[in-house]
Amino acid sequence: MSRFPNLFTPMKLGPYMLKNRIEAAPMGAHGSPDGYITPEGVAYYELRAKGGAAIVCIGESMIDSKGTSHGRVTPLDDPRILPSLISATDAIKRHGAVSNIELLHAGIRSGTPRPDDPVYGPSAGTSFYGKKIIEMGDEEIQHVVEAFGNAAEMAKLGGVQMCMIHGGHGWLLSQWFSKLHNHRTDEYGGSIKNRARIALMIIDDIRKKCGPKFPIEIRLSGDEFTEGGMSIEETVELAKVLDGKVDMIHLSAATFNDRAAGLRMFPSMFLPRGCNVFLAEAVKKAVSTPVNTVGSLNDPAHMEEILDTGKADMVTLGRALLADPYLPEKARKGREADITPCLRCNYCISQNFTPYVKYPKGIVRCVVNPVIGRELENKFVQPSSGKKRVLVVGGGPAGMQAAITAADRGHTVTLCEKHSRLGGTLLFAEREYFKEDIKKLTEVLIRRVRERPIKIMLGKEVTHELISETAPDVLIAAVGAEPIILNIPGVRGENVVIAAGDYDETRIGDKVVVIGGGLVGCEKGLHMAHEGKDVTILEMLDKAAPTAPYLHWLGLMKELEKSTKLITGVRCTKITEKGVYAVNQKDEEQFYEADTVLLAAGLKPRTELVESLRFSAPDFSVIGDCLEPATVLEAIHMGFFSALDI
């Protein structure tokens, strides 16, 4: 019997009996320049089905190529999509999941061939991009209605078993729903029923073309969380209009009309898990149609509580299934302690749908899961043909991942860590109040190491004698980095604490100056402000934390604005027992009073130690911070791939 009976109770949806209450969110990736699903994309979707999700939703798919805002999305008005779509749906269905697809029109957020070309929307005006909006007349409305129906029909022909109409996030249908964009006074404006009229027409057209056995899910922003936008009270009324017309109502949040929308749409680590569940709960109280909820859900026990208390009928997981696609199966089989937690760092979000990111990556990678984005090539990873003795030096994230992967491939592994506990720099990162998931990640990695036949040597410095005794065929150096100590007077003072170190928090005074506004300095400063300290962060560059993923950076800056003083363009010149002296870009000296100075000037690799190990084994590799100061992503990925090379 599962510990999560509600989560794994089957659910009837149209003609399908869903095996559980988990849907894999519509996340798109691996499209060709024309938007066709590549073999890599097929493997990407298949992994979610293989991991146990009951529904796997293919990401943003445009009903009309003229109504797209960004490239590489599935074009459902192009019959040439069918071969790759059939490959994707076959891959989803072979694992017992129901294939879904998200139908979308960008409306006033549509791209145009020329910068000054107009776009179409519910009402005339100026778009988010500064383009002229032409109010849609009867002809344009009918075109969109039929395009949605035709797209669903095309999807069904391609093996899709249900569809999700996107009516949220500031795309076309939510533009009709929201008074931010719909200022009409005819039968399509004013009341909620009128604003929902086009959606009802679309639902009818899909029913006509796809029949009654093709379930329809509609995605709504429960609240747009912006001035003048849809409120939850309005969305409840909208849901009542849609009740019985669709098979499931899916509640998300926010609108791209607000630059900070992504912080709620893809909730940052500064928000509580399940921060949008209350929206689904409000709608569920008002309708009989099943209700689906989404919003950084990651813990099966939390999902079980949501279903058990009647807040929703189903949960949708996005980033959690990138971090661990096997989350559903692990939860079902009682292996929830082995679920890799999503850190909510938002590294995975390419941002190619927003106009204010200069160079969107257009590719998906996951910090804690090196397979994501490489699902196809990972299919061909085999156990090693020859068993080798592997010595991993360093028990941080890179070293632990290398040891785990090498052991899984059949090698004899020894993991040596000079401290008394595994974890490395993760142990320093997990202190912050918003880094609970880092602590979970550390625990998961340590548990995986201990569950495998890996010889663990703690509190042990690696010497040439130890290496001779171990006689490794392969030595992997993961010895980490050491803090950079600035060459300024007072840096060794008793009031100076190293950020990337094991410091005693009781030593921290009430007034703190952080030297270094990189990601570490900013996050440490935010944590200390949360602890009630008066915090000033000094950064030499013009921008703080420039390497952070955009959405994490945006969320971090908003949090820092609330509780700290962040000063950029200043260079620290001296530390005294009373504080820090610095000069600005005009060479004007300024003094910042401090009881404690937190030094966060970066890291440098332990190159000398690495080089002393280089010729100690026939095969040698360097990973993690000791190669170059790295992120958690780089550390875990390097650990994984170094073991694949053995």
pLDDT tens digit sequence for 214-252: 999 999 999 999 999 999 999 999 999 999 999 999 999
Q: What is the pLDDT of residue 1?
A: 67
pLDDT at 286 over 70: yes
What Å distances lie between residue 482 and 473, 485, 493, 567, CA to CA?
A: 28, 9, 18, 25
When pLDDT is cut at 50, 70 and 90, the band that residue 30 belongs to is low
The rounded distance, in Å, linking the Cα atoms of 596 and 599 is 10
The rounded distance, in Å, linking the Cα atoms of 568 and 543 is 6
Per DSSP bridges, beta strands 496-498 and 16-18 are: unpaired
Q: What is the pLDDT of residue 485?
A: 96
Residue type at 305 in one-letter notation: E
pLDDT in tens, 313-336: 999 999 999 999 999 999 999 999
The rounded distance, in Å, linking the Cα atoms of 629 and 623 is 10
Closest by Cα among 640, 642, 638, 612 to 625 = 638
| Over residues 371-378, mean pLDDT | 93
Closest by Cα among 391, 343, 395 to 367 = 343
Per DSSP bridges, beta strands 603-605 and 481-483 are: antiparallel
Q: What is the pLDDT of residue 353?
A: 60
The rounded distance, in Å, linking the Cα atoms of 152 and 149 is 5
The two three-digit tokens of residue 143, written as one number: 């075109």
When pLDDT is cut at 50, 70 and 90, the band that residue 272 belongs to is very high
Transcribe 73-131 into DSSP letters.
SEETT-GGGHHHHHHHHHHHHTTTPEEEEEEE--GGG---SSTT--EEESS-EE-TTSP
Q: What is the pLDDT of residue 501?
A: 84
Ordered strands of the 589-593 beta sheet: 571-576, 579-583, 589-593
pLDDT at 352 over 70: no
When pLDDT is cut at 50, 70 and 90, the band that residue 84 belongs to is very high
Q: What is the pLDDT of residue 588?
A: 96
Q: Which residues contact 185 (CB under 8 A, 6 or more apart)?
A: none
pLDDT at 385 over 90: no
Q: What is the pLDDT of residue 114?
A: 79
Q: What is the pLDDT of residue 428?
A: 85
| Higher local confidence (pLDDT), 116 or 3 | 3
Residues 197, 187 contacting (CB under 8 angstroms): yes
Q: Which residues contact 377 (CB under 8 A, 6 or more apart)?
A: none
Compute CA 14 distance to the chain's CA centroid, rounded to the nearest angstrom: 31
Q: Which residues contact 181 (CB under 8 A, 6 or more apart)?
A: 107, 108, 121, 122, 123, 125, 175, 257
When pLDDT is cut at 50, 70 and 90, the band that residue 258 belongs to is confident
Q: Which residues contact 48 (CB under 8 A, 6 or more apart)?
A: 24, 56, 92, 97, 321, 325
Q: Percent of the chain having pLDDT more than 70?
A: 98
Instruction: Indicate the SS3 state at residue 50.
Output: helix
Torsion angles phi and psi, residue 397, rounded to 5: -60, -40
3-state secondary structure 541-591: CCCCCCCCCHHHHHHHHHHHHHHEEEEECCEEEEEECCEEEEECCCCCEEE
The rounded distance, in Å, linking the Cα atoms of 130 and 151 is 29
When pLDDT is cut at 50, 70 and 90, the band that residue 36 belongs to is very high
Residues 596, 499 contacting (CB under 8 angstroms): no
pLDDT at 351 over 70: no
Ordered strands of the 454-458 beta sheet: 454-458, 412-417, 389-393, 474-477, 619-622
pLDDT in tens, 412-470: 999 999 999 999 999 988 889 999 999 999 999 999 999 999 999 999 999 999 999 99
| Over residues 569-579, mean pLDDT | 97
Q: What is the pLDDT of residue 230?
A: 96
Compute CA 154 distance to the chain's CA centroid, rounded to the nearest angstrom: 30
| Helical (H) or strand (E) element with 174 | helix 172-177
pLDDT at 472 over 80: yes
Q: What is the pLDDT of residue 375?
A: 94
The two three-digit tokens of residue 169, written as one number: 């996030």
The residue written with tokens 């891959």 in the block is 91
Q: Percent of the chain having pLDDT more than 90?
A: 86
Q: What is the pLDDT of residue 349?
A: 83
> Which of 6-10, 94-98, 378-382, 510-514 comes out lowest in average pLDDT?
378-382
When pLDDT is cut at 50, 70 and 90, the band that residue 354 belongs to is low
Closest by Cα among 398, 443, 373 to 406 = 398
The rounded distance, in Å, linking the Cα atoms of 8 and 332 is 7
| Higher local confidence (pLDDT), 97 or 505 | 97
| Higher local confidence (pLDDT), 623 or 111 | 623
pLDDT in tens, 102-116: 999 999 998 887 778
pLDDT in tens, 521-567: 999 999 999 999 999 999 999 999 998 988 899 999 999 999 999 99
- Domains in the chain (CATH in brackets) are 11-377 (3.20.20.70), 385-482+605-644 (3.40.50.720), 496-601 (3.50.50.60)
